[in-house]
Amino acid sequence: MSFEKSGNTSGMRRKARECAVQMLFSADVLGQREEFSTSDYWHELGDADCDMRSRSFADKLVRGALANIETIDARIRTRAEHWRIERMAIVDRNVLRLSVYEFLFEDTPHTVVINEALEIARRFSTFEATQFINGILDAIKL
């Protein structure tokens, strides 16, 4: 049974995805794709409102996204017309990376992935970013 269907609240899934985006952001900024440690992130965060199941889900998403980053970035490049990944806002590119990872490697409905991406972008980025992310994800899901 997937995490999406396990009966957990959508708030805990969103929190796990938010943490995953923050970890991807950190790995990106620190240049630590291969050696990034999710346990270091959790240690720094302390007793956050993220239970062990949510942490496990976030860890899985981060490990999967980092392990498949070349494939994910290639897919983003095909749909991000006039945008180089390196020039995107760091938070936006990592919201996209997480979402594309879920599109390609997880059994999460595309509508859920897009909705979660937009909610996370609203929290951590700008209104314009939500439009940008929505456009790219809509193009990728086709």
Encode pLDDT of 35-85 as tens digits: 777 777 777 776 566 778 888 999 999 999 999 999 999 999 999 988 999
What percent of the chain has pLDDT above 70?
Answer: 89
Mean pLDDT of 24-33: 87
Amino acid identity, position 88: M
Q: Where are the domains of the chain?
A: 3-141
Amino acid identity, position 4: E
Model pTM?
Answer: 0.88
Residue found by looking up tokens 């760091």 in the block: 90
Contacts of residue 88, defined as CB under 8 A and 6 or more positions apart, other chains included, come to 80, 96
How confident is residue 2, by pLDDT bands cut at 50, 70 and 90? very low
For residue 41, count CB atoms less than 10 angstroms from its CB and return exposed for 0-12, middle for 13-18, buried for 19 or more: buried
Task: Identify which of 38, 37, 33 has the alpha carbon closest to the alpha carbon of residue 58.
Answer: 38
Q: What are the φ and ψ backbone dihedral angles of 79, each rounded to 5 degrees?
A: -115, -10
Instruction: Please give the class, per CATH, of domain 3-141.
Output: mainly alpha
